[in-house]
Every structure is written in C-alpha cells, then in structure tokens.
Structure 1
Amino acid sequence: MVRRIDVTGTDGVRLAAWEFADPPKERAEAAGAPGVLLLHGLMGRASHWAPTARWLAERHRAVGLDQRGHGRSEKPSDGPYTRDAYVSDAEAAIEQLGLGPVTVVGHAMGALTGWQLAAKRPDLVRALVVCDMRASALGAASQREWSDWFASWPLPFATLADVRKWFGEGGEG
C-alpha cells in the first residue's frame, strides 16, 4: 500500500511524499519504526524507489519524496531550484513527517541533497546511503555541463518514440 502525504517545502512549495507500507495494521506498527527517506535523482521521482521502499517497509517507515519540480510535487515556474531549496525541502519533510533521526538513501542529485542535509542538520540524519553521486557535482563546470546537456535536447519531442530514442530504451519512464 502506498499513501500520499503532502508536505510544505521551502517558500511554501507543495511536495508529495509517499509512504510505503503494507496493510494499515502494519502502518500503525511502523509508526515507531526507524525512518528512511528516499531521494531520487535529477531525472527521477519517488516512484522509482517503490521496489526498494516496499522491502524497507517491512522494518522501517519508508518514505519517498518527489523533490520540487519532479513527480507529483509542485513545479513553481520561478523556482527556486537551488541546492539550498532541495536541502531545505528534505529537512522540512523529515520534520513534518516525524521521521528523524532518519536514514537518507539518495541517488545522484538525491544523494547530494542527503549529503548536504547531513552536514547541515546532523541531528536529523542518522545514516546516509549515497548512490551514484559525482564528487564534483557542486562546481561551476558541472553546472555548465548540465545546462549544456539540457540545451541540447531537441524540444519539443515530436513523439514518444523520439523521447525513447533520445534517452535510450533501458530507463524507467
């Protein structure tokens, strides 16, 4: 069973959090279980964590967060889409959901967010699992690489087949 919980992030941005649990009885028992916050990568959303979260939910309170601009979370046209905003959003989610101290599991951008959150608020982060994060992700050159890559996209894509061809067939949609 997956339950959506709305959280208020930085600047009032509405964020969608997803709690993964089996039947309601199990959810009630999980209320005292250790929290796990799952943070997706740049091209992801919380649902990418579903298989992992279901497994974790057997012993933990597993929550996936659609980070701002992703999944079912709000996509404010004026942002901010900054490192500080992502970190503050994760901090707000942990506090509002009563997950802390939490184990943060992050992939790529989510790993960087978790890493920065652990440095900013060690009282909220019990442990950190880092998956596929570039150590140089904070540098200006890295930011230019991302900007150049996004600018290279042939937008708008004419068909779904064109999207699949551009990004490759192997990834999750």
Structure 2
Amino acid sequence: MSRLLHRGDAPPVPVRELTAVSADGSRIHVELHGPDDAPAVVLAHGWTCNTHFWAAQVRALAADHRVVVYDQRGHGRTPEPVNGVYSTKALADDLEAVLRATLAPGRKAVLAGHSMGGMTLMAAAGREAVREHGAAVLLCSTGSVRLTAESTVLPIRAGALRTRLTAAVLGARAPLGPVTAVSKSVLKYATMGRGSSPERVDICARIVHACPRGARVAWGRVLAGLDLQAGVRELRLPTAVIAGTEDRLTPPVHARAIEAALPHSLGLTELTGVGHMTPVEAPEAVTAGLRRLAERYVTVKGAAQAVSEEEVA
C-alpha cells in the first residue's frame, strides 16, 4: 500500500485507523477522515481496489464531513478472510461490522459504493445496521445480476461464448505483473473512458495491480455468479445511481435496471464519455452527488424531509 501513497493524488492522513471485526472473525481495515461531529459518509470500494480509490472524494469532503473508508476483505490492508470465504454475504457482514465500529447508535450516514462496493450495499440492504445507519445511498458503476452476460470488455458478439469467456477472465489466476505502458493501455480499454487522462489511468493501474491475486481471483468468481436483484428491491433508502456511458464492465443497462427496480429512486445520472472508474474518472460528479445527499438527508432538516417523503411514498 505504501507505494500508492507517495504521490500528490494520495488521500489525507486519516485522523484515526481502526479494525472492525466481521461476523466470521475476519479483520477489516478502516480509516476515518474529517471531524467526528460532521455529516458522515461511508465509502465502499470495488473489485481489485482499496481505500486509495476514493482519494479525490476524501480530499474534497474531509474538511466538513466525517468520511469512513475501508478495505474490502483481501484488498489493501485488510487480510484474506480467516475462513477463506468470499461471498455476497461476507460483503454484507463486513459492511455491518464497519458501520457498527464507526458510527454511534442511531447515527446516520450516506452510504456509497462503487462496483463491488455498490453490490455490497445491495447485499446488505436488509441488514439491521444499514436500516439503523443508512440515510441515503449512492451507487456508482455497478450491477446486480448477469455481469458476465452484459459485459462488453470482450469485443465479440453477445452470447454464451462471450459470457463463458468473460467469466474465465474474471477468475483468471494469471498475475497482473508490474504497471507498464502496455498494462495501462489494457486497463484503460477495459475499465475507463477513451478520454481519461494518463494521470488518472496511472492512478487506477497502480491501485488495481496492487490487489493480491488471491482476492482478485476469489472475488472475480463471486462476481461471475452474482444475483442481487432481491437486494435492489430491499434497498428502501433514498438512492441515487451514477453510471458512465463508456462502461464496459458494468454497462449502463445495469444502472437503468437498478434504478427502475429501486423502491425509492432519486434518479440515474449517466456521465457521457466516462467508463467504469467513475470516482477517479469523474471525481467532481461523484463528490457532488455525495455532498448533495449528505446535505439533504444527514442533517436534521434532511432527516425530517426524508421521513416525510417516505411517509408519502
């Protein structure tokens, strides 16, 4: 992780670090930024990423928000799970542990997830800790089902062959190796929009290549068989959705389906020319979405408004 923190794009030093203990005993690395008495935001990163992926949002929000970021199991500074289990249930268990460890009873927060982080929120939608602590949700570049069938990373016609090959890629054990010009070109094609700057491609490449192979492979296999449609219907918090029009990993068809199924949708924003890595590719848009949700739903006025809207619904 240290090689990710020597550049100007690194997030601020957290005011506190702690370890949350999940239901199966797995230890989850958590970082807290910003003042404790400010509106809270909890950020869950995606597959092959880590807390550093949210650096732009942490830098922008930490002055006047309490920002909680954590490493998903097997990523960053969170070790592999004690029992070797990678599953959507484990994603939900880990998020519950983080919420319990970082938020006082009854304290509300905006919950945001990118890619697998969004899937975490869908998996945990019915959990007690999400009901207690969730004020609103932001889903970025994510999907709930048919990830391998809808992915367009492989430039071949949709069908059974592409689905099988995509699943094989997600679970491939081949090491990623060092970050090179070639590897950055491949990553940009697969995960980012054509207009992404070299600097932002480099940020994403260093993060992805730092992911341990075991976690990458194990989570890739989970994603290949994902089905969280029931979780979308259980996500009853006010929820906004963001997607990039050039996302090949989770194309906008996923975002549209999720938005249509949400019990309390705040709408879908499609970012033209942006790929899968929305928090890095379009940091201002993602940060603005988080700030709007916090202003509307985490303050006393926003909480009252949210209650009245739920009653009307």
Partner of 1:156: 175
AA aligned to 1:19 is L
- Match among 14, 20, 32 for residue 33 of structure 2: 20
Relative to the length of structure 1, the TM-score reads 0.79
CA distance in 2 between partners of 1:116 and 1:19 (Å): 23
Partner residue, 2:63:
58
> Higher strand share goes to which structure?
1
Q: Structure 1 CA distance, aligned partners of 2:164 and 2:85?
A: 18
The match for 1:45 among 39, 45, 50 is: 50
- Rounded Cα–Cα distance in structure 2 between residues aligned with 1:152 and 1:41: 18
Structure 1 residues 66, 159: CA separation in 2 closer, same or farther (over 3 Å shift)? closer
Deviations 1:81-131 (A, max 9, x none): 110111111011111112642211110110111233233232221110000
User: SS where residue 127 of structure 1 aligns?
Assistant: strand
Tell me the SS of whatever aligns to 2:124. Answer: helix
| Residue identity in the other structure for 1:123 | E
How many percent identity over aligned positions? 26
Q: 2:123 aligns with which of 116, 139, 152?
A: 116
Q: Aligned residue for 2:224?
A: none
Quote the Cα distance in structure 1 between the aligned partners of 2:166 and 2:90: 18
C-alpha change, 1:159 and 1:129, in structure 2 (3 Å) is: closer
> What SS does the corresponding residue of 1:62 show, helix, strand or coil?
strand
Q: CA deviation at 1:42?
A: 0.7
Letter of the 1:133 counterpart: T
- The alignment covers a number of residue pairs equal to 163
The separation in 2 between residues aligned to 1:166 and 1:129, in whole angstroms, is 28
- Max Rg structure: 2
2:31 alignment partner AA: W
Contact preservation (8 Å) 1:17, 1:64: yes
**Contact 1:9-1:15 within 8 A present in 2 as well:** yes
Range with greater deviation from structure 2 (76-85 or 160-169):
160-169
SS in 1 for 2:30: strand
**1:134, distance to aligned residue in structure 2 (A):** 1.5
Paired residues of 1:10 and 1:88 also in contact (CA < 8 A): yes
> Over aligned residues, Cα RMSD in angstroms?
2.8
Change (3 A) 1:134 1:158: closer
Offset, 1:152? 4.3
Structure-2 separation of matches of 1:145 and 1:55: 39
- Judging changes above 3 Å, is the alpha-carbon distance between structure 1 residues 61 and 141 closer, same or farther for their aligned structure 2 residues? same
Match of 1:74 in 2: 79
Counterpart Cα distance in 2 of 1:96 and 1:151? 32
Secondary structure, aligned partner of 1:123: helix
Residue type matched to 2:60 in 1? W
Q: Secondary structure at the match of 1:112?
A: helix
CA drift of 1:78 comes to: 4.4
Range with bigger deviation, 120-129 or 81-90: 120-129
Give the deviation of 1:160 after TM superposition: 3.9
Give yes or no for contact 1:94–1:102 (8 Å, CA) kept in 2.
no
Q: Verify: 1:91 aligned to 2:96, yes or no.
A: yes
- Paired residue secondary structure (2:24): helix
Question: Which moves more between the two structures, 118-127 or 47-56?
Answer: 118-127
1:160–1:10 distance in 2 versus 1, CA, 3 Å: same
* Residue ranges of structure 1 left out of the alignment (5+ in a row): 22-29
Unaligned runs of 5+ in 2: 1-12, 151-162, 189-197, 207-313
C-alpha distance in 2 between matches for 1:43 and 1:76:
15
User: Comparing both structures, which one devotes a greater share of its residues to helix?
Assistant: 2
